[in-house]
Amino acid sequence: MSVIVFAIAAAFAGISYGLYLAFWVFKLDAGNAEMQRIAQAIQEGASAYLNRQYRTVGVVAAGLFAVLWLAGYWSDKFGLLTA
């Protein structure tokens, strides 16, 4: 069996298992009102955390972009052909 066939089969098996688990979880009961209230609070906190992380990563990425862009004017070693 070639490596490519094995990789494709493993990817298909992984995606199939993930879909099976997703459908299984969606069929489960959402819980009582208290559980749903706690889940909503967790979702709000996670959303706020991710928004903060995205903002921080965006600022760092913009800073790195600016540094590398300015370095391109400073030295020819940072040209367009550099990976």
DSSP state of 79: -
Task: Count Cβ atoms within 10 A of the Cβ of residue 78 and give its class: 0-12 exposed, 13-18 middle, 19 or more buried.
Answer: middle
Q: What is the pLDDT of residue 6?
A: 96
Tens of pLDDT, residue by residue over 68-82, are 888 777 666 655 666
Rounded CA separation 35/22 (Å): 20
User: Token digits for 38?
Assistant: 């706690």
Tens of pLDDT, residue by residue over 9-48, are 999 999 999 999 999 999 999 889 999 999 999 999 999 9
Rounded CA separation 75/83 (Å): 15
Reported pTM: 0.57
Domains in the chain: boundaries: 1-30, 32-83
> DSSP strand E in 1-83: where?
none
